[in-house]
Amino acid sequence: MGSTRGSVLLLLCGLVLLAGAQTSKSNVPRLKLSYKEMLQSNNLVTFEGLANSSAYHTFLLDEEKGRLVVGAKDHIFSFNLLNISKDYSQIPWPPSTTRRDECKWAGKDLSRECANFVKVLQPLNQTHLYVCGTGAFHPVCGFLEVGRRPEDNLFRLGPFIENGRGKSPYDPKLLTASMLIDGELYSGTSADFMGRDFAIFRTLGKHHPIRTEQHDSRWLNDPRFVSVHLIPESDNPEDDKIYLFFRESAIDGEHAGKATHARIGQLCKNDLGGHRSLVNKWTTFLKARLVCSVPGPNGIDTHFDELQDVFLMSTKDPKNPIVYTVFTTSSNIFKGSAVCLYSMVDIRRVFLGPYAHRDGPNYQWVPFQGRVPYPRPGTCPSKTFGGFDTTKDLPDDVITFARSHPAMFHPVYPINNKPIIVKTDVDYQFTQIVVDKVDAEDGQYDVMFIGTDIGTVMKVVSVPRGSWHDLEEVLLEEMTVFREPTAITAMELSTKQQQLYLGSSIGVSQMPLHRCEVYGKACAECCLARDPYCAWDGTECSRYFPMAKRRTRRQDIRNGDPLTQCSDLQHQDELNGQTTMLEKSVFGVENSSTFLECSPKSQRALTSWQYQRTSEDRKQEVKAEERLILTEQGLLIRTLGRSDSGLYLCQAVEHGFMQTLVKVTLEVIDTERLEDLLHRGQETASQTPAQDPPPPHPPHLPPLPSSPHRESPNQKLWYRDFLSLVNHPTLNSVDEFCEQVWKRERKHKRQKAQLVQQQQQQQQRGQSPTMHTHGPHVRAHGLVSAKWKHLQDRQKGRNRRTHELERAPRSV
Ligand SMILES: *[C@@H]1O[C@H](CO)[C@@H](O)[C@H](O)[C@H]1NC(C)=O
Ligand SMILES: *[C@@H]1O[C@H](CO)[C@@H](O)[C@H](O)[C@H]1NC(C)=O
Ligand SMILES: *[C@@H]1O[C@H](CO)[C@@H](O)[C@H](O)[C@H]1NC(C)=O
Ligand SMILES: *[C@@H]1O[C@H](CO)[C@@H](O)[C@H](O)[C@H]1NC(C)=O
């Protein structure tokens, strides 16, 4: 009942919308596509998952063979990159019954934990992949044969299964970051049943397995691994380094309370461990903190510490990829996400800087200022330089120093010292990121695809405003890619297929990187979209290919200015405009209400209405008042008067460019004439809800408020008023909008109530006014009844004779 009242209240509020509600819209996605819209426009292909599987989290993209291999619960899948729902293969890989029973006896949940969750999927050689899973709390690994060429059409799991300890975690909730290079598997994972022994391992290959120091919180402190990458340091392969991204608990004393730090760790690929100490342990491990924060107004920074995902964007120089990262906050109070970029130059500078050292009376962290042994810990051994062939030859003082100083003192700050994207005012968080480099007419752009924890993908391009130090984020699209809100946990982008693949616990989805036709046919519409993948080609908005030179092609990513790009096409554009502009006639009955619909495709556009009584009259802007309500979906005219007849033009303005979207000719029929028409038994053709027989009660609509007004005709009349809003396809947005207005209304009422109270008090006692507040509950109900009464008063004695009243639906 409470929620019913709430919804009715929201509907009511729709009738008291105020002017000036449309303000700045720079932070909203220009285009928002629902799951249904994505499917209907052929922009989404889905794999809905198997009934006996879930957790489609481990992806391996093989562009050469045209396959996407996905590791999930008890299964491995191989999808066709062209269309994931067309022909896919699956290999069931459940744990044995014995293992399942053991897992159950150990007190684990049979369906959620005692299964084989695939966590590692890495290319091993030309014909095989290496695959590992949790194996019902007993990690296992195997060899997956995929063949040499696509036409081999091979996909089978070999019979040989080996122990997966140190490769896959035991617990399916934990993640593994892994990478197989030159026959060796690097993995950051937990290596015990209890999930306490976290380490970075190197296994497989010809060397003895090697790991980080065990149970030493200076090295790793309850870490969660995010990703592993090989980045060359120089042209000498001896200098190749492995970088691990993870988050971990800050060490006591480093921070007040429990805090998380984001980290980057480095290792030398040719590290073989120490000789006398640190035997079979890394001797070149170092870690540094990654900072991603926004300066606050009062000197307190907002820190984003929960590193979620990392994407390396390659550049011309393989030594210096750009590091794209996604962070969220660890705060329970406020949800926020950010994207920070780091340069390898900054990262290397920090690893060459001072080591963190604990010293002084408070045992605090300070930069180490003593003598650093030679060769400097963290440097890779090299036959050609430095005189140390292998880490086994390193002097004891180097090993000792390395063991006690794994952390660097200085943190790594992001490029330009701040995030390039921050989102804090929303009820979702970022989870994944992939980036595509796109050539456009006016330069090269990085287009980011960001996955969220509610199953949506944001497509964002960062455009330099003046210089590269001042970037503007243009949120091009927001798309829902899963049938229900679920976190996106895996993301791969295929430049060859121009497709994006997404994983979650409920399935796998696929979408194209661009859908230029959605922006509209006109030059201006295509130009306003600012999508580097799209350009106006002379007739429509289509995929931009930098190679093909065409004179008619128009694109402006940097400014998105249709005036400079399309003005010479004015005439042609107008023709195009004719096809996109909607023209219609609407009939309304005197003293009833009508809704003129106009919602621009772009959420960035601001709409306004022009009114022209006859073609001789001047156009004038429609201003909001009690009777005329401007909403984001259109214009609601309450209690139509005969003088409301005329031409209504809905115009959208975006980036200084104005477009007429809708042209409505409204004719108001007076009641006498309507009676006449009805008496003659003629059905009048009309498009207004006001005159159509009222549609059946929509299932999602709350019933009318009950007694004492239940059956009164006035109420039915009001109900019809709502229906004209409710019938609207985008009721949700009406609701959202209403909610804002409702808040405003409350504030307004509170001020009013305060005023009345002040007056009363002054009259009675002559005292100074005091603040008076109601609980929100009381206020909401008060507002409903007050509004209700007000609306009833206004309607009293009106429109009783209109026929459709008798046919108004009864509330349930
Ligand atoms: C993908 O394949 C399915 C099943 O064959 C088909 O219904 C669908 O239209 C295809 N989608 C695309 C975009 O090719
Ligand atoms: C899950 O169900 C599919 C059929 O939908 C079947 O082929 C597969 O073997 C089952 N997997 C397991 C692990 O039982
Ligand atoms: C790849 O590795 C598998 C498993 O070790 C082995 O059986 C196979 O022969 C190897 N293939 C090639 C081409 O080296
Ligand atoms: C319409 O409303 C006007 C103004 O309130 C009133 O004078 C008139 O009688 C009403 N007309 C009908 C047909 O109800």
Distance 260 CA to ligand 2 centre (A): 40
Q: Which CATH class for the 5-24+580-669 domain?
A: mainly beta
Q: Which residues line ligand 4 (CB under 6 A)?
A: 590-591, 671, 798-799
Tell me the C-alpha to C-alpha distance, in Å, between residue 565 and each of 439, 529, 561: 18, 13, 6
Q: Count Cβ atoms below 10 Å from residue 439 Cβ, excluding itself.
A: 13
Token couple for 264 = 């980057």
Distance 124 CA to ligand 3 centre (A): 8
- The average pLDDT across 155-170 equals 94
Which is the closest atom of ligand 2 to the Cα of 50?
5
Per-residue DSSP letter, 372:
P
Residue nearest (by alpha carbon) to ligand 2 atom 5: 50
- Omega of the bond leading into 708 within 30 degrees of 0 (cis): yes
Q: Which helix (H) or strand (E) holds 776?
A: helix 776-795
The domains spanning 5-24+580-669 and 521-575 adopt the same CATH topology: no
Query: Does residue 159 line the site of ligand 3, with CB under 6 A?
Result: no
Q: How many Å apart are CA 786 and CA 703, to the nearest integer?
A: 19
Token couple for 452 = 């969220």
Residue nearest (by alpha carbon) to ligand 4 atom 5: 798
Residue 765 vs residue 635, higher pLDDT = 635
Token couple for 315 = 């550049």
Total length of the chain: 812
Closest CA to 216 of 203, 197, 230, 202: 197
Tens of pLDDT, residue by residue over 105-118, are 999 999 999 999 99
Region of poorest pLDDT, from 136-140, 338-342, 671-675: 671-675
Pocket test for ligand 1, best of 39, 82, 83, 500 (most atoms within 8 A of CB): 83
Beta-carbon-side half-sphere exposure of residue 604 (alpha carbons within 13 Å): 22
Q: How many Å apart are CA 380 and CA 386, to the nearest integer?
A: 9
Tens of pLDDT, residue by residue over 368-400, are 999 999 899 999 998 876 678 899 989 999 999
Q: Identify the pLDDT of residue 783.
A: 32
Closest CA to 29 of 536, 456, 653, 581: 456
Pocket test for ligand 1, best of 40, 47, 68, 86 (most atoms within 8 A of CB): 86
Kindly report each contact of residues 266-269 with a partner whose C-beta sits within 8 Å and lies 24 or more positions away, as own/partner.
266/241, 266/242, 266/351, 266/378, 267/186, 267/200, 267/241, 267/242, 267/243, 268/239, 268/240, 268/241, 268/242, 268/379, 268/380, 268/381, 268/391, 269/181, 269/230, 269/237, 269/240, 269/241, 269/242, 269/380
Per-residue DSSP letter, 301:
P
Domain residue ranges in the chain: 5-24+580-669, 521-575, 673-807
Pairing of strands 620-621, 606-612: antiparallel
Residue 289 vs residue 574, higher pLDDT = 289
Which is the closest atom of ligand 1 to the Cα of 83?
1
Distance 86 CA to ligand 1 centre (A): 6
Query: Does residue 130 line the site of ligand 3, with CB under 6 A?
Result: no
Residue 94 vs residue 627, higher pLDDT = 94
Q: Identify the pLDDT of residue 614.
A: 87
Q: Identify the pLDDT of residue 601.
A: 82
Ranked by mean pLDDT, which of 381-395, 436-450, 619-633 comes out on top?
A: 436-450
Residue 784 vs residue 586, higher pLDDT = 586
Q: Identify the pLDDT of residue 582.
A: 82
Distance 95 CA to ligand 2 centre (A): 13
Q: Identify the pLDDT of residue 557.
A: 83
- The torsion region of residue 507 among left (phi > 0), alpha (psi -120 to 50) and beta comes to left
The fold for domain 521-575 equals ligand-binding face of the semaphorins, domain 2 (3.30.1680)
Residue nearest (by alpha carbon) to ligand 4 atom 9: 798
In this model, does residue 182 exceed pLDDT 60? yes
Tens of pLDDT, residue by residue over 207-232, are 999 999 998 999 999 999 999 999 99
Distance 67 CA to ligand 3 centre (A): 20
Q: Identify the pLDDT of residue 14.
A: 33
Is-contact 289 340, C-beta < 8 A? Answer: no
Tens of pLDDT, residue by residue over 334-352, are 789 999 999 999 999 999 9
Token couple for 321 = 């990829």
In this model, does residue 154 exceed pLDDT 60? yes
Q: Identify the pLDDT of residue 151.
A: 87
Instruction: Using a pLDDT cut of 90, give the percent of the chain over it.
Output: 52
Confidence of residue 468 (pLDDT cuts 50, 70, 90): low
- The average pLDDT across 724-737 equals 41
Region of poorest pLDDT, from 445-459, 574-588, 613-627: 574-588
In this model, does residue 757 exceed pLDDT 70? no
Tens of pLDDT, residue by residue over 627-671, are 888 888 889 998 888 889 999 999 988 877 788 889 999 988 887
In this model, does residue 10 exceed pLDDT 70? no
Is-contact 612 646, C-beta < 8 A? Answer: yes
Region of poorest pLDDT, from 9-13, 513-517, 652-656: 9-13
Region of poorest pLDDT, from 331-340, 469-478, 714-723, 766-775: 766-775
Closest CA to 200 of 216, 187, 213: 187
What ligand is nearest to the CA atom of residue 802? 4
Start-to-end C-alpha separation, the chain = 13
Residue 482 vs residue 547, higher pLDDT = 482
- The torsion region of residue 736 among left (phi > 0), alpha (psi -120 to 50) and beta comes to alpha
Confidence of residue 754 (pLDDT cuts 50, 70, 90): low
Q: How many Å apart are CA 224 and CA 310, to the nearest integer?
A: 13
In this model, does residue 62 exceed pLDDT 90? yes
Is-contact 187 177, C-beta < 8 A? Answer: yes
Residue labelled with tokens 């005692």: 114
Q: Is 32 helix (H, G, I), strand (E, B) or coil?
A: strand
Closest CA to 31 of 515, 487, 424: 515
Q: Identify the pLDDT of residue 657.
A: 78
In this model, does residue 30 exceed pLDDT 90? no
Is-contact 151 127, C-beta < 8 A? Answer: no
Which is the closest atom of ligand 3 to the Cα of 160?
4
Q: Which residues line ligand 2 (CB under 6 A)?
A: 50, 52, 74, 92, 94
Average confidence score pLDDT of the chain: 80
Distance 800 CA to ligand 4 centre (A): 10
Q: Identify the pLDDT of residue 295.
A: 83
Pairing of strands 471-480, 31-33: parallel
Distance 435 CA to ligand 1 centre (A): 26
- The average pLDDT across 479-507 equals 97
Q: How many Å apart are CA 642 and CA 809, to the nearest integer?
A: 27
- CB neighbour list of residue 97: distance below 8 Å, 6 or more residues apart: none
